A and B are shown apart, each in its own frame.
Chain A
Amino acid sequence: MVTVTVNVNGEPRTASVPPETTLLRLLREQFNLTGAKLGCDVGDCGACTVMVDGKSVNSCLMLAGQADGRDVLTIEGLATLERLHPLQEAFEQLGSLQCGFCGPGILMSAKALLDENPDPSEQDIRDALAGNLCRCTGYIKMIEAIQGVARADGARPAPKSA
């Protein structure tokens, strides 16, 4: 067994798990965060996407031990009690998700993209979602939603750099 302490959605959490446990299973089975989904367990479908230290990661391909001491953001950490994340709002408004199973992963990939590139082109968005499969084939509305959020953010004055 290995003891892992991960900063999940801003809160340090600790669990003792067998060494072969993936970050995905740690989140789902130990921390009861079932937003990240198990779709293929081999890094093909992206349903398990979370952010580790600001980068989007297939949590089924990362061992829990590798996440020790790092910051993990899951879909559960995207909204606050007061308000939805703009991406969640846009996805809801446009009906971007159908069965919804790929949604948490897609949203985390989109968030990672916008954090890095606030003004992505359509191709940038497509590239960012390349690792996330949707079988209801709803990509178009997802891309529109992400574009919408990027544009709304772009309209605001850029944050002053430190």
Chain B
Amino acid sequence: MDKKSAVIEKQARLQEVEALLKAPAAAPLAPLPREVLVPEARQQTPAVRQRATRPDGRLHGLGQTKYIDDYYLPGMLYAKIKRAGIASARILRIDTSEALKMPGVMAVITGKDVPCNSFGPSLKDQPVLADERVFHAGDGVAAVAAVTEQIAAEALEKITVEYEPIRPVLDPLESLQLETPGLHAPNPNIYGHKVIRKGDVEKGFAQSYRIFEGSYRTQMVEHVPLEPHASVATWDANGRVTIYSTLGRITLGRADISRTIGVPMSRVRVIATVVGGNFGGKNEITTEPVLALLAKKTGRPVKCTFTRPEEFLASTTRHPLVMDYKTGVTKEGKILARQIRLVLDGGAYCSWSETTLGKACILSAGPYQIDNLYAEAFVVYTNKTMTGAMRGFGAPQVCFAYESQMDDMAKALGIDPLQIRLTNALREGSLSPTSQKLHSVVVRETLLQAAQRFGWNEDGGGNGAQS
């Protein structure tokens, strides 16, 4: 056979194979159903008054659900983290030699052992273990892996850290005034800012019968999930790490773990299981990189379960807010203009502050029709436990402020607190603070029905509620 015909034959065979491998032509797309079954707005759904059981309910009741802390791997070590216990300081020296001498202590690491010592869901401003600077009392400065939890706890006491204290910034308003460089120099102290502008507030205030000003503050809140944060890390012989964790967002966590321990994401496997309460507090990594590094150093699985004090010190919390409200109203209580300044106490690290900032700012006007609005929100660093996601992402805080002011205004104007809300409530087609046209708005109907159900008018227009 000559060369040319061999080539032709080969090409023909290739075409045959190609035809075989080709996926069959896709079936024509089925037309979408014209009528989409969506329950009518304001209709009682069939779920109401139905009893719901959970698929995992039986195992919960039998005590058979395995949470992370219920995993015991063969040869597993226990890790403990030494917390700084000082709000703001420069770390001068960490001495782990005494701890390492203890029988039963298998490894000790500090921030210097972390390949890339920074992580975070949005800004990468949080160290895995603080190495140069302590930004809040719950910062980890060293970690120990030992054969028992007891030995690990004792070893922590043998670690000495020398600090040079720096005056901490604890008040968000003070932090707001701080000139650059801020706590995380060279980054500014204000690490998030948002403005919502609608209409002309100055014009609205000029037309107002009265202007009310009030300042409202909320406190820091810890999620306190009944199950403390826990994770177990173990490496296989091929250099892949498996981490069992109470993490709620495993994909995000996987990226942060990969970054901090310097291992490609394809070699990081995160296994999450039933979580014993999250409430927003288990949305980012905590000790996972530390455990991965300790497990690599010792060649054994390593587990760490937060103590209850660590839950308060070293996990995220709800943002405390300082909220200044200035509202101009007519004699009848109709809001003409509202100006808002929110200062979110972001704590030592960003975490989910940007999300919280946005949501708090958008919702800060309340469910009210306000044509002239100016809302400005800042989130600032302080030397406190970092604040992050928690049920509502900033919405409950601003609700406290605007509803408090509604009550103050109603009282001063001699208007029923229900009436002032009905006067201002959003209606069908109202524009939201960000000028989104709203549909299925039932604020007024809800208020009226609620007032009727709990007898608001029976004791004289809610005077009882005001006293």
Residues of chain A with a CB closer than 8 A to B52's CB: 95
Q: Is the C-beta of B355 less than 8 angstroms from some C-beta in chain A?
A: no
Residues of chain B with a CB closer than 8 A to A65's CB: none
- CA A99 to CA B65, docked complex, whole Å: 10
Residue of A nearest to B225 (CB): A135
Q: Considering the complex, which residues of chain B in the window 315-351 have a beta carbon less than 8 Å from any beta carbon of chain A?
A: none
Residue of B nearest to A104 (CB): B63
Partner of A84, one of B62, B66, B226, B274: B62
Q: Is the C-beta of B60 less than 8 angstroms from some C-beta in chain A?
A: yes
Q: Is the C-beta of A69 less than 8 angstroms from some C-beta in chain B?
A: no
A47 touches B54 (CB 8 A): no
Q: Is the C-beta of A100 less than 8 angstroms from some C-beta in chain B?
A: yes
Residue of B nearest to A136 (CB): B277
A102 touches B308 (CB 8 A): no
B51 touches A101 (CB 8 A): no
A91-113 CB contact bits vs B (8 Å, 1 = yes)?
11111111111111001000000
B275 touches A97 (CB 8 A): no
Q: Is the C-beta of B150 less than 8 angstroms from some C-beta in chain A?
A: yes
Q: Considering the complex, which residues of chain A in the window 45-66 have a beta carbon less than 8 Å from any beta carbon of chain B?
A: 45, 47
B51 touches A102 (CB 8 A): no
Closest chain-A Cβ to B75's Cβ sits at a distance in Å of 14
Q: Is the C-beta of B276 less than 8 angstroms from some C-beta in chain A?
A: yes
Partner of B227, one of A44, A78, A94, A101: A101
A100 touches B69 (CB 8 A): no
A135 touches B63 (CB 8 A): no
Binds B, one of A30-38, A122-130, A150-158: A30-38
Q: Is the C-beta of A76 less than 8 angstroms from some C-beta in chain B?
A: yes
A97 touches B226 (CB 8 A): no
Q: Is the C-beta of B413 less than 8 angstroms from some C-beta in chain A?
A: no
Closest chain-A Cβ to B126's Cβ sits at a distance in Å of 25
Q: Is the C-beta of A74 less than 8 angstroms from some C-beta in chain B?
A: yes
A34 touches B70 (CB 8 A): yes
B60 touches A100 (CB 8 A): yes
B274-309 CB contact bits vs A (8 Å, 1 = yes)?
111111000000000000000000000000010110
Q: Is the C-beta of A29 less than 8 angstroms from some C-beta in chain B?
A: yes
Residue of B nearest to A92 (CB): B57
Q: Is the C-beta of A134 less than 8 angstroms from some C-beta in chain B?
A: yes
Closest chain-B Cβ to A139's Cβ sits at a distance in Å of 13
- CA A161 to CA B308, docked complex, whole Å: 46
Known contacts A95-B51, A101-B226, A101-B276; is A38 also within 8 Å of B305 by CB?
Answer: yes
Q: Is the C-beta of B203 less than 8 angstroms from some C-beta in chain A?
A: no
Known contacts A39-B227, A47-B226; is A103 also within 8 Å of B61 by CB?
Answer: yes
Q: Is the C-beta of A18 less than 8 angstroms from some C-beta in chain B?
A: yes
Q: Is the C-beta of B56 less than 8 angstroms from some C-beta in chain A?
A: yes
Residue of A nearest to B276 (CB): A101
A61-97 CB contact bits vs B (8 Å, 1 = yes)?
0000000000000111011000010011001111111
B70 touches A39 (CB 8 A): no
The secondary-structure label for the interface of chain A is: loop
- CA A28 to CA B66, docked complex, whole Å: 12
Known contacts A41-B308, A93-B53; is A135 also within 8 Å of B277 by CB?
Answer: yes
B274 touches A100 (CB 8 A): yes
Q: Is the C-beta of A42 less than 8 angstroms from some C-beta in chain B?
A: yes
Residues of chain A with a CB closer than 8 A to B148's CB: 18
Q: Is the C-beta of B72 less than 8 angstroms from some C-beta in chain A?
A: yes
Q: Is the C-beta of B64 less than 8 angstroms from some C-beta in chain A?
A: yes
Residues of chain B with a CB closer than 8 A to A75's CB: 62-63
Most buried by B among A34, A78, A100: A100
Q: Is the C-beta of A115 less than 8 angstroms from some C-beta in chain B?
A: no
Closest chain-B Cβ to A54's Cβ sits at a distance in Å of 19
Residue of A nearest to B311 (CB): A40
Closest chain-B Cβ to A98's Cβ sits at a distance in Å of 8
Residues of chain B with a CB closer than 8 A to A104's CB: 63
Q: Is the C-beta of B253 less than 8 angstroms from some C-beta in chain A?
A: no
- CA A107 to CA B277, docked complex, whole Å: 18
A101 touches B62 (CB 8 A): no
Residues of chain A with a CB closer than 8 A to B204's CB: none
Partner of B274, one of A44, A79, A92, A99: A99
A99 touches B51 (CB 8 A): no
Q: Is the C-beta of A8 less than 8 angstroms from some C-beta in chain B?
A: no
Q: Considering the complex, which residues of chain B in the window 144-198 have a beta carbon less than 8 Å from any beta carbon of chain A?
A: 148, 150
Residues of chain B with a CB closer than 8 A to A47's CB: 226
Residues of chain B with a CB closer than 8 A to A23's CB: none
Q: Is the C-beta of A6 less than 8 angstroms from some C-beta in chain B?
A: no
Residues of chain B with a CB closer than 8 A to A37's CB: 67, 69, 226-227, 276
Q: Is the C-beta of B228 less than 8 angstroms from some C-beta in chain A?
A: yes
Q: Is the C-beta of A114 less than 8 angstroms from some C-beta in chain B?
A: no
- CA A111 to CA B64, docked complex, whole Å: 18
List 8 contacting pairs A-B, 8 Å CB cutoff, sorted by A: A18-B150, A32-B72, A39-B228, A88-B61, A91-B57, A91-B60, A92-B57, A100-B56
Q: A37-B69, A39-B226, A95-B57 are in contact. List 4 more A-B contacts (CB 8 A).
A: A36-B63, A78-B62, A101-B225, A103-B61
